[in-house]
Amino acid sequence: MERRSINALPEGLLEESGPDRLHLGGTTPKPGWQIFNAVEADYVDHLGDVRDLSRFSDASFDMVYASHVLEHLGYQEDLPKTLRAVRRILRPGGRLFASVPDLMTLARLFTDKAATPETRIEAMRMMFGGQLDPYDFHYVGLWDEYLGWLLMKAGFQRVYRVGSFGLFPDTSDAVLGDTPISLNMVAVK
């Protein structure tokens, strides 16, 4: 994984580009984006399970966005398989924007001796999911080295950690207290 500061990112890395963009787990319609979700709603273009992207042809998309989706997949089989499938449906040079709860940050917040019970409960919820519905459970904790390794193993050529994507108002910019708790990475095919 290439570890670079936000200032060293390649030009255009965070810009929306290309006519075909897929938002996995999306809930906010946005022009130029198709939404894939497991829960039926009027804004959903593709209803299904993210573990099965077989409906999409190879090299179908310029960008794929997944905010707080990947942690819902088991790390033994489902997560690696899904990352390979995302790479498959991306065009050459296409980008995956992946945001997950940052396990390292959450562990620090949880174990801080000065943390309030409320802070610990919220950190725990981000680690294990809110458990408000059958889809709201987390099966893996991710941190930059591990997610970067998984992305490279899935065949991505370059991986960058970024502060914010600035694409959707979602949990990719979530904070606990004043601490950002999301790990945001861009993987390039």
Give residue 22's Cα distance to chain centre: 12
Please report which helix (H) or strand (E) contains residue 21, including its range: strand 21-24
Q: What is the pTM of this model?
A: 0.94
What pLDDT was estimated at residue 9? 87
Output DSSP code: residue 142: B
Summarize pLDDT for 133-150 with one digit per residue, the tens.
Answer: 888 999 999 999 999 999
Give the sign of the dihedral formed by CA 97, CA 69, CA 78, CA 121: positive
Local confidence band at 8 (pLDDT 50, 70, 90 cut-offs): confident
Tokens read off for 5: 């500061």
- Model pLDDT for residues 89-137, shown as the tens digit of each residue: 999 999 999 999 999 999 999 999 999 999 999 999 999 999 998 889 9
pLDDT for residue 6 is more than 50? no
In this structure, which topology does domain 6-188 adopt according to CATH? Rossmann fold (3.40.50)
The residue extents of the domains of the chain are 6-188
User: What H or E segment, with its residue span, contains residue 63?
Assistant: strand 61-67
Does an H or E element contain 107, and which? helix 103-111
